[in-house]
Structure 1
Amino acid sequence: LGLVWAVGKNLIYWKLYKPDYVPDSLMSYFHGTMTSTYVFICWSGLYIGIKYYQLLQEQRQQTLRANALAHEAQLKMLRYQLNPHFLFNTLNAISTLILDRDNETANRAVTRLSDFLRYTLHNDPLKKISLEQELKSLSLYLEIEKVRFQERLEVELDIGKKASKALVPSLITQPIIENAIKYAVAPREEGGRLRISAHVIQGRLVMELEDDGPGLDGNERAREGRGVGLSNTRERLAQMYGDQYSLELTRAQPSGLRVIIALPYET
């Protein structure tokens, strides 16, 4: 190709600028062949390099899209693992209310259950919402549980004004509260108390979810890994925040379990 390019270039040059020129030898037609060959190799290398870079970029984008889709699918899977025991217990409580002819309370419970399930199914698990919205959805859940436990379940809230505007993953607190009800309220005849607090401390949202149940029973590691709820919460937070979050289990005073979640403060 370099040879052809050199011959063509020489013929065009002679025709345009030296119309009366007659080559004195055959080699005159091949003058500049090496230079043309080098230029052609350089242009070819540049073209191949650009095409290779574009191919790498396309493959990189495909890998990023695949990772994003996998990330989204994993979060949705974790988000939609609604505890079937919660549904079973709620429906059983509603059935008992109907048998006792307490239709008004039963109707209220069905309405709350419907609202809560609609919220969990329609809300995007990848979307962050304000803590104020999160607590409203949590109140739906707690109202359903109060149908079962009535006065045995007490809830105390301590939410800072600034903290209420912070963004958090949707339904991030519900599995922890569900665990607290399962282990601290349901097994005890007298029921139990739940305390939920949230404040902004040194640029981080710090949430504390506390019960007055048996606590860690002297085996912190066993309790930390108990239940799908806590492990799902850890995985969701790890997916969304990486190493920018913390989740700790401590003993509440005088008794009980305290779950402390710290997240970057975002609005």
Structure 2
Amino acid sequence: MLKSLLSKSWFPSSDRGFWLLQFGGWAGYALVNYIGSLMHEMRDIYGVVLVLGAYSGFLLTLPLRYFYQRVWEWHPLLLMFVVILASYITACLWAVVDNATYWEIYKFGFTPDSHLAYFKNNIAKFYIVLSWSGLYFGIKYYRMLQNEKQKALMASSMAHQAQLKMLRYQLNPHFLFNSLNAISTLILVQDTAIANKMVNRLSHFLRFSLDNDPIKKITLKKEVEALMLYLDIEKVRFDERLEILIDVSDEAKRALVPSLLFQPLIENAIKYAIAKTEEQGVLSLKAYVERNRLIVQLCDNGPHAPEQPELLMKNAGVGLKNTRERLAALYGDEFTFSMTKNEPQGLCVEIVLPFETLESV
């Protein structure tokens, strides 16, 4: 019955565990004390006292949960002091409520022994509330550890899937055909120097895509270098019709990003924007660091960009979906992936990631 009530929509799934433990824990506390009272042949009314005491403990520990959520990120030593202090204050309030309950039911006055009993009762309740706090932090840390493990497993799985999908991009027959055809043309016109250069770039790009573990991160500087290998191959296809603008700050070059993160996005831009424009095609990559966040913007000047670019995600191909899913697996809620219209025409993709460097990991 209780479980079915807690499963209703007004209880978020993340809170159900807390409420089940809160109800069950205090009910168990009352039951254990009641069984102990039977062994000492206490009056029947004492059962009511125990229920009221457990109910008071239940209510008084609820604010602790929301208080601990606010101080969760504090320094461990300060947090420990605050938890002990909060537990003692809660125990004192609980002892006061218990004492008032005893007085109302038994109608006895205060005596010198009463003060000693109150002090002992206060200490006992302090240990109970402190134990409640310890269980709260222990369970919360355990859940966080399990979430991190689950996120790591998901990231590993998604990264391997992303690698397979990106390999399909990189080994796409059309891409290889266009690259080899361009190299063949250079050989026919006896431009062997550029043909040799393109073969080397194609070889280095494919080697880079195979050697880099998608789970690990590389510096943005290396990522841009790999991206330029791919773009140099595409520039042979488009000749003077493709212009590439790179604007990456020195600080951003040190940032760590998933390997080959931008290649599917650039390939989409070439396929759906640059290849369809009759004018000069422009691809721009801008990256900078702001407020400890890495901001990367990929833009093109292709025609026919939708008025609401975000709607592209609903009918997006493998590239966009794969990139967003991979970022979600690696960063959870700590990233943003958005698309906006470029001015005067085209599409911009903006990715915001936590700023991480080799020194910080």
**Do they fold alike, i.e. is TM over 0.5?**
yes
SS in structure 1 at match of 2:169: coil
1:234 corresponds in structure 2 to: 324
- Distance in 1, matches of 2:275 and 2:316, equals 16
**Deviating more after overlay: 255-264 vs 139-148:** 139-148
Q: For the structure 1 residues 214 and 103, does the alpha-carbon distance in structure 2 shift closer, same or farther, using more than 3 Å as the test?
A: same
- Distance in 2, matches of 1:171 and 1:197, equals 16
- Distance in 2, matches of 1:69 and 1:77, equals 13
Structure 1, residues 212-252: CA drift from partner, whole Å, max 9, x if none? 11252335355344332111111111111111111101001
1:121 corresponds in structure 2 to: 210
Equivalent residue letter for 1:158: D
CA positional deviation for 1:96: 2.4
Structure 1, residues 52-74: CA drift from partner, whole Å, max 9, x if none? xxxxxxxx9xx979767645533
Equivalent residue letter for 2:160: A
Is 1:180 the equivalent of 2:269? yes
Please report the RMSD computed on the Cα atoms of aligned residues, expressed in angstroms.
2.3
How many residue pairs are counted as aligned between the two chains?
206
SS in structure 2 at match of 1:81: helix
- Distance in 2, matches of 1:68 and 1:249, equals 23
* Gap regions ≥5 residues in structure 1: 1-59
CA positional deviation for 1:147: 1.2
Q: For the structure 1 residues 202 and 157, does the alpha-carbon distance in structure 2 shift closer, same or farther, using more than 3 Å as the test?
A: same
Structure 1, residues 129-157: CA drift from partner, whole Å, max 9, x if none? 11111111111111111111121111111
If each structure's helix is expressed as a fraction of its own residues, which one has the higher value? 2
SS in structure 2 at match of 1:243: coil
CA positional deviation for 1:254: 1.1
Structure 1, residues 156-196: CA drift from partner, whole Å, max 9, x if none? 11111211111000111111111111122122233301111
- Distance in 2, matches of 1:195 and 1:213, equals 12
TM-score w.r.t. length of structure 2: 0.53
CA positional deviation for 1:261: 0.3
- Distance in 2, matches of 1:177 and 1:74, equals 19
Structure 1, residues 57-92: CA drift from partner, whole Å, max 9, x if none? xxx9xx979767645533433443325132222122
Larger RCO (alpha carbons 8 Å, 6+ apart): 1
1:80 corresponds in structure 2 to: 167
Q: Among 146, 152, 156, which residue is 2:235 paired with?
A: 146
If each structure's strand is expressed as a fraction of its own residues, which one has the higher value? 1
- Distance in 1, matches of 2:348 and 2:154, equals 35
Is 1:167 the equivalent of 2:256? yes
1:131 corresponds in structure 2 to: 220
**Deviating more after overlay: 88-97 vs 142-151:** 88-97
Equivalent residue letter for 2:211: H
- Distance in 2, matches of 1:259 and 1:215, equals 16
- Distance in 2, matches of 1:200 and 1:260, equals 13
Answer yes or no: is the 8 Å Cα contact 1:215–1:252 preserved in 2: no
- Distance in 2, matches of 1:121 and 1:249, equals 29
Answer yes or no: is the 8 Å Cα contact 2:305–2:341 preserved in 1: yes
- Distance in 2, matches of 1:121 and 1:235, equals 21
1:177-256 equivalence runs, <5 A: 177-214=266-303, 216-218=305-307, 220-221=309-310, 223-224=312-313, 225-256=315-346
**Deviating more after overlay: 179-188 vs 251-260:** 179-188
Structure 1, residues 96-145: CA drift from partner, whole Å, max 9, x if none? 22333322222211111001000000111111011111111111111111
